[in-house]
Amino acid sequence: MTAPANTKNIRFKIKRQDGPGKASYWQTFDVPYKPNLNVISCLQYIAEHPVTVAGEKSTPVVWDCNCLEEVCGACTMVINGKVRQSCSALLDELLKETPGGMVTLEPMTKFPVVRDLWVDRSRMFNALKTIQAWVPIDGTHDLGEGPKESAENQDVRYSLSRCMTCGCCLEACPQFLLGNQFIGAQAISQARYFNLHGTGKVLADQRLDAMMGPGGITDCGNAQNCVKVCPKEIPLTESIAAIGRQATVHAVKRFFNGPPRK
Amino acid sequence: MSADASPNAQAPQPSLLAQNHFLLRRLHSLSGIVPIGVFLIFHLFTNFQMLVGNFQHEVEFIHNMPALIYIEILGLWLPIGFHAVLGIAYTLGSNPNSIQYPYMDNWRYTLQRVTGILAFLFIFVHGAKLRWGFTFGGYLDTPFYLHGPHGEPLATASTAIALQHAFPWVLVGYVVGVYACVYHWANGLWTAAISWGLTLSVAAQRRWGVFCVGLGLALAVFSAGAIYKAATYPVADQQREMIRLMEAGRTLPAAPHDKVLELPLPAEEAHEAAP
Amino acid sequence: MASSKPRIIIVGGGLAGLAGAIKIAESGLDVDLFSMVPVKRSHSVCAQGGINACNKVARQQGYSEWMHFDETVYGGDFLNHQPPVYDMANMAPKIIDLLDRMGVPFNRTSEGERDLRLFGGSLFKRTHFAGATTGQQLMYALDEQARRWEVQGKVTKYEFWEFLWPVVDEQGACRGIIAQDMRTMQIRAFRGDAVIMATGGNGLIFGKSTNSVICTGGAAARCYQAGAWLGNPEFIQVHPTAIPGEDKCRLMSESARGEGGRVWVPRKKGDTRPPGQIPEAERWYFLEEKYPKYGNLVPRDIATREIFFACRDGLGIGGGRMVYLDCTHLPDATKHKLAGIFEIYEKFTGDDPCHVAMKIFPAVHYTMGGLYTSFEPKPDFKGMVPGHPKNMMTNVPGLYAFGEVNYQYHGGNRLGANALLSCIFDGLFCGPSAVQYVQDQKSPAADLPESLYQKFAQQEETKARKLIESNGTFNPYTLHRQLGDVMTDYCTVVREENGLRTAAEHVDRLRDQFRALKLSDTGMWTNQSLSFTRALGDMLVYAQAILAGASLRKESRGAHYRSDFTERNDAQFLKTTVAKYDKAKDRPVIEFEAVPTPLIQPRARTYGKVDA
């Protein structure tokens, strides 16, 4: 990697929108190149110097972020056409993708825009309610240890538990759309996560019921984009298959046993 | 704990479609694999007989099956209709993005939807034409007869005439249609194993993928053989004339059965016609 | 809006806030939970290494809750209040069990038991962990339980709402808060019969730290300006191992050393060879050499200073401000346990720590100080009286502080993997104290006159408008960068009188400039500049308290190292720094309050250092 000259600017083309329902528009900003920049530090520079390439005074670009080390899931956006975390999107890598030296930033398209690059992802958190994404413990009193667990099972659960609700999997999914009901890989994988826990699986049947209605597991189209864009390399397609199997077995059982007694 | 009652407990009664969402999706998957898919294998294998076997015999076996029309309706046309209607509805609810995310699996996904629609159009035209005798306003007037009035074998000749009609567009249509069916089925078989939960791990999915690709290639070879044969088969003037007369509704000049066999047939056809 | 059912407001949805919310909801009270981010994205997710607790294995090797207690106090250089620490160490094993039951994927041994790792300040394996993202895993478990209560209507979340000010009634008690919706910019009052601050640390005061962008300390600074006191504000933990970056410094967990990672520099100054080509004999493992007993696992303040001094003496990599943290020699299974942090290092630097030694430098990490709180000790000082309303209440009645924003537990220096513990402990142990306080109240907040709330809401409206309309020349983002630079330069690893005075003057100047700034965004929809600028004003106020405390504490203790007073001075400074905001002078007033040491007497804190 050759270090470009100090004077070099990186041009950012940013899709902006002043609020929900407002028309979107593009603005371009220049950010002086330094080694080891990430998209966040460039947005911070623009916040301090909100002047477009054309010399117009603008406002700091609004975006959602928090930890800046790819563990909180907040800063997802579409960068050069591909959804990812803006904290771990390094300029030296991005510039290789775009030989022209231009980086485009857009908000995710599968969630309603709040402003600029900030979108409303409450649908993802609501999905966690739908699938009862929790272990139904009796309470916080001292009741001793949790269930013993094999190292192998922990390894699988840990890989699933790293989901930070960032929304990359849903943004890249051709089946998950702004207006539809599909619950998406994130929640499907979380359902698997809780069904793998000794106590969590008490609610497995209810999770599967929730997972078998419209927008549930069967709405997956197996495009497998989710697993490729997941920044945490969560085995999402394996989760989809696992919940598919559980749903199949569950449906057969339901067929012979009838609906659950209330 | 009552705490864990489903959060949707208060929701209004869902529609019948919504209630049976899972069943419909699984039936959609199943209908593609078993009746349609199994028929596809038989059909393409039978066609392949044109090149290496006794096509006339195979075709006649199928056509002489008892209660064929019921088998056809229940085992084929209904599943195809069901599979197609749901498939198109599902496709309309998707937003393919293979340009933006050009992963191989994503192309596979998009192609599955494209081939589904192509296959449906092809099957409709193909069936309407060759099975029900639609002529589509004369544009696709390609009569198809298994045999002449006296049992003269015409399976291959008819197929060839149908395929060679309006050359090369019909040929192109066949190639596209047949390969769309093959791809759609082989890929559907691969994804169904994930959807039903048979192939859990990435490794299992890869191995099953190898199998599905193999199966798809085998069907592709069968199809290629049949299409090649039908596209290059030299239809004898007598056969063409016989079909023309049958089409015109005129009876052919009475002739003893063995006379017909004296027609100068191409070598393969003679072999086929041999008892 | 007014409901006569008592409610408790919790500000902050990290581990402390969520643990409190769960405990309080379980006790039957309703909770309003405020957070600037969806609670699942709170800064607690950044904790990596683990959570300490005495456990079956360590116990059989001679470890005990008492030793955990002792380590924490020794690690904190005896500035900790001992009864709360005593309780924390004793409850730790039960907290681990609870987290285990909630489904935290703690690493397992081959027999299916919870695995353990070594951590700083201890010679026993007493740290439970889930890969190298333990904080995230713990956060998610509590987030899930809180969501369960949310579905039942016991917890109401106000996410993307920013705390602006505590509502304090005429008797001086906290009766609610003013908050602003960060999207619609609506400012409104919320009634609460008790308010729990669980708003974390203040790393952003130092510009680049390992903290998340919301960790401005703004909420604590607002309480401070509203009359709550700060305790030990000058105690800021600088973590020895972080990856310096343009936007922040990314933590490289202590677990890397806990699992066997070694810190070294080339013995030859300015050695430019790649680390892999420098032979063993030419490496200086300075921590191991100076502290043979604890090695790379000396407490953070000590490791940080040693790294800092090595670089100051020109021994840093290539003469610069970096040292090696080497994990290349670790077995694959161990590397697997650290995959979470290695992945971060590789993503941000391009080097794979499995094959190349990491380059790290200390960075501001944790706020030991915070809102001043008190507690009711048991007569023998072995713990607090459970459920006593005083526990972790600030000097403002009804206003509590849990977690990192609470100055308790860690004294002058926090031990690694004690933070997650203290946050959860606060929520679980002291949540009932807030409940008890609410139950003791005669007049519920719901019955108070609307005018009280309107007055405070109006005050915040006015402040916001003033910022929006300010038509000066200074850019808030530039001022923040300057604040960060000056605080980092003069008030982190090594402090001394002149530097502190320089910094204080600079911060005073920044406060003047702050009054003459100009926002580039003056809109009233999702205006992040307003939020940031308001926090900047509060960071400046907080910085003054930090500097004042640092200047007056003329000794070296824990993370507070004075090059002009290098020794600990128990006679004068075994005391809590209490910073009170003088509204008239708009300045901190510093007082010192003796720290009783009823259970463990101060002793020399050397960690077996040999003079090299």
Q: What are the pLDDT digits (tens) for C209-243?
A: 999 999 999 999 999 999 999 999 999 999 999 99
pLDDT digit string, tens, across residues A88-121:
999 999 998 887 779 999 999 999 999 999 999 9
pLDDT of B250 over the 70 cut: no
Per-position DSSP letters for C521-537, written without gaps between them: ---SSS-HHHHHHHHHH
Three-class secondary structure of residue B53 per DSSP: coil
Residue with tokens 């643990």: C19
pLDDT number for residue C193: 97
Same-domain check for residues A150 and A75: no
Domain count, chain B: 1
The reply to whether A3 falls in a domain is no
Closest listed residue to residue C573, CA positions, set C2, C39, C79: C79
Q: At what angle do helices C528-552 and C497-514 cross, to 10 degrees?
A: 150
Of A95, A118, A141, the residue at which a domain comes to its end is A118
Q: How many cross-chain Cβ pairs, A to B, lie less than 8 Å apart?
A: 119
pLDDT of C25 over the 90 cut: yes
CATH of the domain at A35: 3.10.20.30
Same-domain check for residues A185 and A58: no
Give the sheet arrangement for strand C51-52, strand by strand. Answer: C51-52, C127-128, C116-117
Touching subunits for chain B (3+ Cβ pairs under 8 A): A, C
Nearest-Cα distance to chain A for C94, in Å, is 6
Least confident range of A150-154, B264-268, C5-9, C81-85: B264-268
CA–CA gap between residue C190 and residue C157 (Å, rounded): 13
- Nearest chain C residue (CA) to B4: C148
**Among this protein's residues, is C300 annotated catalytic?**
yes
Cross-chain Cβ contact C26/A150 below 8 Å:
no
Note the helical H segments in C283-363: 286-290, 300-312, 332-337, 339-349
Three-class secondary structure of residue A20 per DSSP: coil
Residues 6+ apart with CB under 8 A from A126: none
pLDDT digit string, tens, across residues C70-104:
999 999 999 999 999 999 999 999 999 999 999 99
CA–CA gap between residue B14 and residue B22 (Å, rounded): 13
Q: How is chain C split among helix, strand and coil, in percent rounded to 5?
A: 40, 20, 40
Per-position DSSP letters for C212-281, written without gaps between them: -TT--SHHHHHHHHTT--EESTT-EEEEEEEE--SS-PEE--THHHHTT-EEEEESSTT--S-GGGS-GG
Same-domain check for residues A107 and A176: no
Q: For the CA atoms of chain C, what is the radius of gyration?
A: 23
Same-domain check for residues A103 and A146: no
pLDDT of A1 over the 60 cut: no
Closest listed residue to residue A107, CA positions, set A88, A128, A121, A125: A121
pLDDT digit string, tens, across residues B63-114:
888 888 999 999 899 999 999 999 999 999 999 999 999 999 999 999 999 9
Cross-chain Cβ contact B194/A132 below 8 Å:
no
Q: How many cross-chain Cβ pairs, B to C, lie less than 8 Å apart?
A: 5
Q: Quick one: average pLDDT of C493-503?
A: 98
Same-domain check for residues A110 and A149: no
How far from C254 is each of B160, B265, C47, C50, CA to CA, in Å?
Answer: 76, 87, 10, 9
CA–CA gap between residue C147 and residue B129 (Å, rounded): 60
Contact, C247 vs C207, CB < 8 A?
A: no
What ipTM was assigned to the predicted interfaces of this complex?
0.95
Half-sphere exposure for C308 (CA within 13 Å, toward CB): 21
- Nearest chain A residue (CA) to C243: A69
CA–CA gap between residue A76 and residue A166 (Å, rounded): 6
Chain A (225-254) residues lying within 8 Å, Cβ to Cβ, of chain C: none
Q: Quick one: average pLDDT of A29-49?
A: 95
Cβ-Cβ contacts under 8 Å, B4 against chain C: 148
Give the pLDDT band of residue C552 (cuts 50, 70, 90).
very high
CA–CA gap between residue B129 and residue C103 (Å, rounded): 62
Of A102, A118, A134, the residue at which a domain comes to its end is A118
pLDDT digit string, tens, across residues C588-607:
999 999 999 999 999 999 99
Same-domain check for residues A104 and A135: no
Using CB atoms, pick whichever of A37, A118, A145 lies closest to residue C97: A145
Same-domain check for residues A228 and A143: yes
pLDDT number for residue B130: 82
pLDDT digit string, tens, across residues C324-348:
999 999 999 999 999 989 999 999 9
- Nearest chain C residue (CA) to B2: C152
Q: Which architecture characterizes domain C7-235+368-449 according to CATH?
A: 3-Layer(bba) Sandwich (3.50)
Fill in the DSSP letter of residue A51.
B
Same-domain check for residues A40 and A97: yes
pLDDT number for residue B10: 52
The reply to whether B15 falls in a domain is no
Same-domain check for residues A150 and A235: yes
Least confident range of A176-180, B51-55, B123-127, C438-442: B51-55
pLDDT number for residue B18: 87
Domain that holds residue B121: 21-273
Per-position DSSP letters for C29-90, written without gaps between them: -EEEEEESS-GGGSGGGG--S-EE---HHHHHTT--HHHHHHHHHHHTTT-S-HHHHHHHHH
pLDDT of C475 over the 80 cut: yes
- Range(s) for CATH 3.50.50.60 in chain C? 7-235+368-449
Cβ-Cβ contacts under 8 Å, B7 against chain C: 151
- Residue B99 token pair: 């340009």
Cβ-Cβ contacts under 8 Å, C145 against chain A: 134-135, 137
pLDDT number for residue C357: 97
pLDDT of B251 over the 80 cut: no
Cβ-Cβ contacts under 8 Å, A134 against chain C: 103, 144-145, 147-148
Give the pLDDT band of residue A262 (cuts 50, 70, 90).
low
Q: Which long-range contacts (CB under 8 A, 24 or more apart) does C155-158 make?
A: C155/C21, C155/C25, C155/C30, C155/C31, C155/C33, C156/C30, C156/C31, C156/C32, C156/C33, C157/C13, C157/C33, C157/C35, C157/C39, C158/C32, C158/C33, C158/C34, C158/C35, C158/C190
Cross-chain Cβ contact C45/A65 below 8 Å:
no
Using CB atoms, pick whichever of B1, B93, B197 lies closest to residue A248: B197
Give the sheet arrangement for strand C230-231, strand by strand. Answer: C370-371, C230-231, C575-582, C587-594
Q: What percent of chain C has pLDDT over 90?
A: 96
**Cis ω for the linkage preceding C476 (within 30 of 0):** no
The reply to whether A4 falls in a domain is no
CATH of the domain at B153: 1.20.1300.10
Q: How is chain A split among helix, strand and coil, in percent rounded to 5?
A: 35, 15, 50
Q: Which of C7, C191, C300, C414 is catalytic?
A: C300
pLDDT digit string, tens, across residues C120-131:
999 999 999 999
Chain A (48-87) residues lying within 8 Å, Cβ to Cβ, of chain C: 48, 50, 57-60, 62, 65-74, 87
Confirm or reject contact between B202 and chain A (CB < 8 A). yes
The reply to whether B16 falls in a domain is no
Least confident range of B8-17, C202-211, C314-323, C542-551: B8-17
- Residue C585 token pair: 């002078």
Q: Quick one: average pLDDT of A151-174?
A: 97
pLDDT number for residue C129: 96
pLDDT number for residue B274: 40
Residue with tokens 């975006």: A63
Cβ-Cβ contacts under 8 Å, A73 against chain C: 40-41
Domain that holds residue A148: 121-257
Cβ-Cβ contacts under 8 Å, A139 against chain C: 26
pLDDT number for residue C261: 97
pLDDT of C289 over the 80 cut: yes
Average pLDDT, chain C: 96
pLDDT number for residue B61: 86
Q: Can you name the residues that pair with C580 across neighbouring β-strands?
A: C589
Residue of B4, B88, B99, B101 to mutate for A, most A C-beta atoms under 10 A? B101
Identify residue B140 by its one-letter amino acid code: L
pLDDT of C298 over the 80 cut: yes
Type and span of the H or E element at C433: helix C431-440
- Give the domain C452-569 fold: Methane Monooxygenase Hydroxylase; Chain G, domain 1 (1.20.58)
Nearest-Cα distance to chain A for B187, in Å, is 10
CA–CA gap between residue C523 and residue C465 (Å, rounded): 11
The reply to whether A1 falls in a domain is no
| CATH of region C247-362, choose from 3.90.700.10, 3.40.50.1010, 3.40.190.10, 3.50.50.60 | 3.90.700.10
The reply to whether B5 falls in a domain is no
Give the pLDDT band of residue C249 (cuts 50, 70, 90).
very high
Cβ-Cβ contacts under 8 Å, A145 against chain C: 97, 100-101
How far from A21 is each of A13, A16, A114, CA to CA, in Å?
Answer: 21, 12, 9
pLDDT digit string, tens, across residues B122-163:
999 998 888 887 877 777 777 778 888 778 888 888 888 888
CA–CA gap between residue C591 and residue C609 (Å, rounded): 33
pLDDT number for residue C1: 42
Residue of A160, A176, A238, A239 to mutate for B, most B C-beta atoms under 10 A? A238
How far from C507 is each of A48, C501, C579, C583, CA to CA, in Å?
Answer: 20, 10, 17, 18
The reply to whether B6 falls in a domain is no
- Nearest chain B residue (CA) to A127: B7
Cross-chain Cβ contact B105/A221 below 8 Å:
no
Domain count, chain A: 2
Q: Residue B211 CB: number of other CB atoms within 10 A?
A: 13
Q: How many cross-chain Cβ pairs, A to C, lie less than 8 Å apart?
A: 189
The reply to whether B14 falls in a domain is no
Q: Quick one: average pLDDT of C187-191?
A: 98
pLDDT number for residue A3: 43
Confirm or reject contact between B92 and chain A (CB < 8 A). no
Burial of C444 (0-12, 13-18, 19+ CB in 10 A): middle
Confirm or reject contact between A41 and chain C (CB < 8 A). yes
- Residue C318 token pair: 């290539």
Which stretches of chain B are assigned E, i.e. beta strand? none
Of A96, A118, A140, the residue at which a domain comes to its end is A118
Contact, C289 vs C612, CB < 8 A?
A: yes
Q: For the CA atoms of chain A, what is the radius of gyration?
A: 22
pLDDT number for residue A251: 94
Cross-chain Cβ contact C148/B7 below 8 Å:
no
- Range(s) for CATH 3.90.700.10 in chain C? 247-362
Using CB atoms, pick whichever of A50, A66, A151 lies closest to residue C41: A66
Confirm or reject contact between B11 and chain C (CB < 8 A). no
CATH of the domain at A132: 1.10.1060.10
Cross-chain Cβ contact A68/C428 below 8 Å:
no
Contact, A218 vs B25, CB < 8 A?
A: yes
Closest listed residue to residue A67, CA positions, set A76, A56, A80: A76
- Nearest chain B residue (CA) to C153: B3
The reply to whether B67 falls in a domain is yes
- Residue C16 token pair: 């402390």
Confirm or reject contact between B86 and chain A (CB < 8 A). no
Identify residue B168 by its one-letter amino acid code: P
CA–CA gap between residue C330 and residue B19 (Å, rounded): 55
Contact, C548 vs C501, CB < 8 A?
A: no
CA–CA gap between residue C352 and residue C338 (Å, rounded): 12
CA–CA gap between residue A9 and residue C528 (Å, rounded): 25
